[in-house]
Structure 1
Amino acid sequence: MIPAYCTNVHPAEDLPGIVAQLDRHAVPVREELGADTLALGLWLSAPVARALASDAIARRGFRAELDARGLTVSTLNAFPYGGFHDDVVKHAVYLPTWTDPARLSYTADCATVLADLLPDSADYGSISTLPLAWREPWTTADDADARAAFAEITDVLRMASARPIRLAVEPEPGCVLDTVADAIGWLAGHVDPDHVGICLDTCHLAVSFADPAETVASIHRAGLSVVKVQASAALHVGEPGTDEARTALAAFAEPRYLHQVRENTPAGVLAADDLPDALDTLPAAHPWRVHFHLPLHAAPPEPLTATTGVLLAAMAALRSTVEVMPHVEVETYTWSVLPGFDQTSLSSGIAAELRWAASNLGVAV
């Protein structure tokens, strides 16, 4: 079966533009894969989500546009609020935070939209969201505001649909909830696990150098669930201090997105907030992992490798732990900044990646 692919790879931020991008890319991907239907991990900017949430007729019309193209939606990516393809995104992707009422409103709008997009076959819908905020500034008052917002969005989710719609919190390096362990500590015992759980982004998991099987086990020991997996791979380099490695890494130091780096030393994991910072400041004496979502089917140039092994291990751990697998969304939003990639080949690249995922992951939304 074919997992979903995340449409945050496309820059459209109005409804006509979204439909045009689906015609330009999603339909050709479905046709290239020979599939009757293709699942999307849909990204809607805040203005689009607001417009659709406010207009039931528009939601029905959009659902009809998806149905006509053989496209289904069981999960939304509500991490980026807007401007995700601006020339420079970096820290702006973490705004608004979960202390800002705009974040709550956006997520509630997404729940309203998703309720009307869910296919008849879907057991539940999922919405992935940011891990509260970038780590600085963050105060005890901010924490209290975020907890209140989560209580409110949980009430919204309870009433959004006859079928459950679940919020999936996505830990990311550098954020308030940097690791899955941080997310467990913040969520467990404080949220309704029927409506709020974890989005396990396996690129982020790899960057943290956490053990995939133990991570999955720890989520379930805490009484939480993996609501959604973002199937993704990070850059890995065993000897980042060599000239060859530094040259290869420098090609990925692009200006649009933040590429957090971690170095796994015997004394602990060292951190840099972006790849240029890492190249300047980390000792580079031990292995690095870099937050750069790589196409799952294509190896990066040597001596760099991809952490697809972490993805495969996490999926194996889930299969041995749960009766029903979570939603799976292939989230490679970095095609536009991938070194040497021919952008005219985007649809073929997405299809090749989904073909790899279907062969190796064995699940679908």
Structure 2
Amino acid sequence: MSSTSFRPRLPGAVLAALSVGLLAAACGGSGGGAAAPGGPNAGVQVALSDGGCRPTPETVAAGPVTFTVTNSGTAKVTEAELQSNGRILGEKENITEGLNGDFSLRLDAGSYTVYCPGAAQDTWTFTVTGAAAPPTAPADTSLTKATQQYHDYVVSEVAALVPATKEFDDAVRAGDIPKAKSLYAPARTHYESIEPVAESFGNLDPDIDARINDVADPTKWTGFHRIEKALWADNSLAGMTPIANKLDADVATLQKNVATATYQPAQLANGASDLLDEVSTSKVTGEEDRYSHTDLWDFAANIAGARKAFELLQPALTAKDPQLAQQLEARFTDVTSGLAKYQQGNGYVDYSTVPPDQRRQLADAVNALAEPLSQVAGKVV
């Protein structure tokens, strides 16, 4: 989940409204050589600092653009986004000191904003000029099928999320702590599997899933984790009815939004990479479900969502790079096998019982999967 719920975004920004075609996954690791503005793949450097994130260059020609985000020494600014009219077109999060990462887009002519929350100047203008040449490759029908099936998958997961959340919230409204505790993790799995989609809709994801340290004003904290604290830390559901009501309403809004959303193949790959980033940055550490210690439920849902996206893209990927497809299949198997030993009944063990060395093993397996997965979007555009 995003850690910047206070940032100004346009609510309900549907992926279908984006005027860009993603070319490559947002991925960790160092960026490649930067092409000159107007070249076949323009390169833009975004250096994070306390002062801001000025893009260099600030103007490129329409077409493929790769943004390389670096952090050479700021603890305040760890994220850069490219926005258009309040919509997030691409982003790189969790760029802490010494790290860097790339995301690539096909951009139409227009004025964009580079946004880096936490900086003294957090918005910078980025301009795209001219007209991009249309792709020359013929359409891949397997990719068209993949994007439609992913839409159906997202819709079905949210369709399951709505009643599961209501049942959980009904228990909260009734003051039934044991029942609410039992329903918390199962409901969230449907959300965690498609969280990158939810993050595209303005502040909807923070409203549903923000942690206490993710909100500027704790008195306005809402969503699953607010109720989680009430259940496990406070052992009281006093005052939680309005929070439960809002959670139901926000999940209903999510269902409405995903019904009309459409996707491009690279968005599936980007989303899969984002889900792995969720695992490696918050699930493995135990900070996501810090009160309930149900992190492994979320961990498994993130992996399942990433695997679904990969499986839908797999036919096209196999045709273009069979070795990469085989490598990813093997590494997904490694991760799911590693998770299996922590299963308990229909769920998972309390994450606080998993020792640090075993957490590191889980993280290593996820990182081994993340690197090749970050290559997929560039293969399926």
Give the structure-1-normalised TM-score: 0.28
Give the structure-2-normalised TM-score: 0.27
Whichever structure has more helix as a proportion of its residues is: 2
